[in-house]
Structure 1
Amino acid sequence: MWDAYASLGGRKVLDGADVQVEYCQLVALVGPNGAGKSCLIKAFAGVLDLDGGVARLNGDDVRTLSSRERARRVAYLPQERRIAWNLPAVEVAALGAPFLSGADALTRAHAALAEVGIAHLAGRGVAEMSGGERARVLLARALVVDAPLLLADEPIAGLDPDAQRLVLERLRARADGGAGVLVSLHDLTLAATMADRVVVLDQGRVVADAAPIQALSPAVLREVFGLDGGWIEGPNGPLLAARRAQ
């Protein structure tokens, strides 16, 4: 992504944001509400038109790719968890691979549901599930295709700690397996713990883009998030410790 500009309702939401996601990396995108995190992810996914700049997938302008080709190159997990129809979980997950035959898509879907720990719910309608279970189904839908780029917009919002850990572990595993992963998070501690790089976005601009310990510096914490704190030495390495600035 280079020099992306976008506006919604006349309000600029991306202002020269420049972010790149490399293979084998989990990149955490953080920032206050309204910073432009969701818009940046949507631009990568090709579902938000840019006023200027370009979003590229493997070097190609995402706007020049067919929906089928985008589905091969990028898996997108949106923030919204609404599912219109009460389909069985395995059928919802299979929608993540529209370019496969029905049988192959279902085989991949069963494997993805097992990967997120809900293989036993494959035949249950998604309307009969808890919010956390539906979140896992949607994650499975994103995991069905082995796309080189996985985009996840606030995938752990509203989930209990066990579900949060599982989701982040699956995203980490996908990055360790060779994919590039871009995930937006509100929890700075989790971002610092799980990510290879942290991108701090504020008012549509990239304020920092570096390893967690550099990106979430005391100056950035105060300027962007209104927090006092920094890094302390923990039993397994540096830990982020911050509190609301007085």
Structure 2
Amino acid sequence: MSAVTLDSVSAAIAGRAVLKAVSLTVRPGELVALCGPNGAGKSSAIRAALGLLPLSDGQVSLAGQPLSALGPMKRADHVAYLPQDRRIAWNLPAVEVAALGAPWLTGPAALARAHAALVEVDIGHLADRGVSEMSGGERARVLLARLLTTRAGALLADEPVAGLDPDAQLMVLERLTERARAGQAVLVSLHDLTLAARFADRVVVLDQGRVAAAGPPMEALRPMILRTVFGLTGTWIAGPDGPLLAAGRAATGPVSAQGR
């Protein structure tokens, strides 16, 4: 059974269609990457899956149940969300922010779980520091820790590596991959196609609110899709640790980056 299903979902914002008959699934044990140009509908698809964007057509299901039939607490049991916006309203200690991901636990148990998640994202030493006193990258790790404390079956992360240095980007996707391998379903939106190729089990490419391609990275990010959706030249080549995605702007020629 899939953890998250969008079935022919359409939606609009301020009268402009942002999703057009989008269908996708995310199953337990896999990481699916949503890719596409700016404005393609990646964030809208994630928000629709959470019930945060009203649908004009289609249906969303969580663990086989219609989203519309689930109250807020039941939805939280099935899916957790890491938004792009990294603002935190109050200057709480990092461990208390991370503990918000475990509302079903008592205070000490939630804090212990949160502290373990902070250690997992390499900022356990900042557990008692106020989040307003942190750098943007540190706050991003606190919010990732909040996501990792959840018991939800599906984790949805909107651009979780945006603005992070390369080492932090890899750390974020490694942690999310570990969650997928442990049995959770993970859906992430990514602009970086080389990271999507390296970490995703499947890639869904959106273009102007529609699904342009879907499948394993080598299939979804094939040369025709790279050219028509992203304006890139590209191909897959053999590498010492598996296939490499070589891609670049058509005007400047390709550059190689590690793929899956």
Contact 1:68 1:99 in 2 (8 A): no
Partner of 2:120: 115
Whether 1:38 aligns to 2:47 is no
Partner of 1:14: 19
What is the CA–CA distance in structure 2 between the aligned matches of 1:69 and 1:106, rounded to whole Å? 23
Mean Cα deviation higher: 58-67 or 83-92: 58-67
Partner of 2:254: none
SS of the equivalent of 1:55 reads strand
Whether 1:205 aligns to 2:210 is yes
**Residue 83 of structure 1 is aligned with which of 69, 83, 88?**
88
Runs of 4+ in 1 over 3 A off after TM superposition: none
Contact 1:77 1:153 in 2 (8 A): yes
- Residue identity in the other structure for 2:194: T
- Residue identity in the other structure for 2:60: A
- Residue identity in the other structure for 1:39: S
Partner of 1:128: 133
What is the CA–CA distance in structure 1 between the aligned matches of 2:31 and 2:84, rounded to whole Å? 18
Partner of 2:170: 165
**Residue 238 of structure 1 is aligned with which of 209, 234, 243?**
243
SS of the equivalent of 1:44 reads helix
Identity of aligned residues (%): 64
What is the CA–CA distance in structure 2 between the aligned matches of 1:159 and 1:126, rounded to whole Å? 17
CA-to-partner distance for each residue in 1:193-218, whole Å, 9 max, x for gaps? Answer: 10100100001111111000000000
**Residue 67 of structure 1 is aligned with which of 55, 64, 72?**
72
Task: Write out aligned runs for 1:136-147 (5 A).
Answer: 136-147=141-152
SS of the equivalent of 2:88 reads coil
SS of the equivalent of 2:132 reads helix
Count of aligned pairs: 246
Shift of 1:64: 2.1
What is the CA–CA distance in structure 2 between the aligned matches of 1:146 and 1:111, rounded to whole Å? 14
Shift of 1:77: 0.4
Partner of 2:180: 175
CA-to-partner distance for each residue in 1:205-238, whole Å, 9 max, x for gaps? Answer: 1111100000000000001000011111111111
Shift of 1:100: 2.4
**Residue 222 of structure 2 is aligned with which of 209, 217, 224?**
217
Whether 1:3 aligns to 2:15 is no
- Residue identity in the other structure for 1:50: L
**Residue 159 of structure 2 is aligned with which of 143, 146, 154?**
154
What is the CA–CA distance in structure 1 between the aligned matches of 2:172 and 2:50, rounded to whole Å? 20
What is the CA–CA distance in structure 1 between the aligned matches of 2:187 and 2:173, rounded to whole Å? 11
**Normalized against structure 1, the TM-score is what?**
0.98
**Normalized against structure 2, the TM-score is what?**
0.93
SS of the equivalent of 1:24 reads coil
Contact 2:102 2:151 in 1 (8 A): no
What is the CA–CA distance in structure 2 between the aligned matches of 1:107 and 1:68, rounded to whole Å? 22
